Amino acid sequence: MSEVSDDLAAGRLVRVLPEWSLPTLDIYAVWPESSHRSSLVKLLLEFLLDP
């Protein structure tokens, strides 16, 4: 939600259904132990782990 929090606070955006939210979803990242993790994979994992 941080992408739009400034716009919400300034009144440029309005929540249509404020009491509704998406269900929690578990995401798993799995790869072989012997494979090298690219920097893009590391960035994706950091993004997914950031609350």
At residue 41, the pLDDT reads 82
Reference 48, options 17, 19, 26; nearest CA is: 26
The residue type at 25: L
> What tokens does 44 get?
């994706």
23 vs 50: CA distance, rounded Å:
18
Give the DSSP letter of residue 17. Answer: S
* Domains of the chain, residue spans: 22-51
Query: In tens digits, what is the pLDDT along the chain, a chain of 51 residues?
Result: 578 888 888 989 887 898 998 888 888 878 777 777 788 888 888 888 886
Percentage helix, strand, coil for the chain under 3-state DSSP, each rounded to 5:
35, 0, 65
